[in-house]
């Protein structure tokens, strides 16, 4: 799986990435790519990466999971290291610029990389879960800071909002719902980042609507342009 075409992070970025995933055979392995309405939740992330991604060469996808973010990062032409306790992601396993490093048994914090290794580190829905496996947010931030080069960038996406309406609603109607144990307020994020010597370049809210609930469905109605535009507009207005 070599030669993925680079995509521009713009409103069409999701459609272009989804097409690249389909053409490369990666799409079936990634739940987030199975319908465009669900996949659209990552458009703000792609845009942010494009705005700050100049000059980046080597990056870490911390907690890469099924490889959906690694797939996007590879289209930027970067050298991507995926670190995870899950199996090597099939979506990117054969890509020449992807290296998989398995998690260290019994240690949810320490990373097997030298100091100042990466130009950028990415956390997509990972940082809030380290405490569930015996780690702490502060310890992980310290370790991530260690492996970043001077002037390096830390992109943290999908950090759960303490003021969200989605999880209280889901908890009310589903006894078996998987909810985040740890959620954050804006001032808490600012304090954590400052304590670890990160300068915040941009912070914002997105995904007002429960996009992941749509992931169980396939294409069809959920990928129609008119419906996508309507849901994306409502989502942006709510955020």
Q: What is the pLDDT of residue 234?
A: 77
Q: What is the pLDDT of residue 233?
A: 81
Q: What is the pLDDT of residue 77?
A: 96
Q: What is the pLDDT of residue 219?
A: 60
SS3 of residue 201 by DSSP: coil
Please tell me the pTM assigned to this model.
Answer: 0.87
Over range 178-183, report the average pLDDT.
68
Top-level class of domain 13-238:
alpha beta
- Whole-number Å distance between alpha carbons of 156 and 158: 7
Q: What is the pLDDT of residue 165?
A: 55
Q: Is 87 exposed, middle or buried (0-12, 13-18, 19+ CB in 10 A)?
A: exposed
**Which residue would you say has higher pLDDT here, 212 or 86?**
86
Q: What is the pLDDT of residue 46?
A: 94
Q: Looking at the predicted structure, is the pLDDT value of residue 221 above 60?
A: no
Over range 12-36, report the average pLDDT.
89
Per-chain mean pLDDT for the chain: 85
Q: Looking at the predicted structure, is the pLDDT value of residue 216 above 80?
A: no
CA angle centred on 125, ends 120 and 127, rounded to 5°: 70
Q: Which of 138, 151, 152 is nearest to 194 (CA)?
A: 138
- Whole-number Å distance between alpha carbons of 89 and 81: 12
Q: What is the pLDDT of residue 187?
A: 94
Reported as half-sphere exposure (CB side, CA atoms, 13 A), residue 141 has a value of 17
Over range 67-88, report the average pLDDT.
97
Over range 44-48, report the average pLDDT.
92
The 8-class DSSP code of residue 88 comes to: P
Q: Looking at the predicted structure, is the pLDDT value of residue 232 above 70?
A: yes
Determine how many CB atoms are found less than 10 A away from the CB of residue 138: 13
What pLDDT band is residue 206 in, cutting at 50, 70 and 90? confident
- Whole-number Å distance between alpha carbons of 128 and 112: 21
Please say whether the beta carbons of 63 and 41 come within 8 A.
Answer: no
Please say whether the beta carbons of 152 and 119 come within 8 A.
Answer: yes
């Amino acid at each position: 799986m070599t030669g993925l075409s680079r995509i521009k992070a713009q409103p069409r970025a999701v459609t272009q990435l989804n097409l690249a995933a389909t053409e490369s055979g990666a799409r079936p392995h990634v739940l987030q790519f199975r319908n465009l309405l669900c996949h659209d939740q990552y458009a703000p992330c792609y845009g942010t990466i494009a705005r700050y991604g100049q000059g980046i060469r080597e990056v870490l996808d911390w907690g890469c999971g099924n490889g959906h973010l690694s797939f996007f990062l590879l289209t930027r032409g970067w050298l991507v290291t995926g670190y995870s306790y899950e199996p090597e992601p099939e979506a990117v396993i054969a890509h020449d610029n992807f290296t998989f490093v398995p998690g260290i048994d019994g240690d949810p914090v320490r990373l097997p990389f030298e100091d100042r290794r990466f130009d950028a580190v990415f956390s997509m829905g990972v940082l809030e879960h380290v405490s569930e496996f015996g780690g702490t947010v502060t310890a992980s931030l310290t370790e991530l800071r260690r492996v970043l080069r001077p002037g390096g960038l830390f992109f943290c996406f999908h950090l759960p909002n303490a003021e969200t309406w989605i999880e209280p609603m889901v908890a009310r109607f589903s006894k078996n719902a998987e909810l985040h144990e740890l959620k954050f307020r804006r001032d808490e994020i600012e304090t954590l980042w400052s304590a670890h010597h990160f300068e915040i370049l941009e912070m914002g809210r997105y995904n007002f609507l429960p996009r992941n609930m749509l992931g169980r469905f396939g294409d069809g109605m959920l990928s129609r342009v008119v419906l996508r535009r309507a849901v994306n507009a409502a989502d942006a207005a709510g955020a």
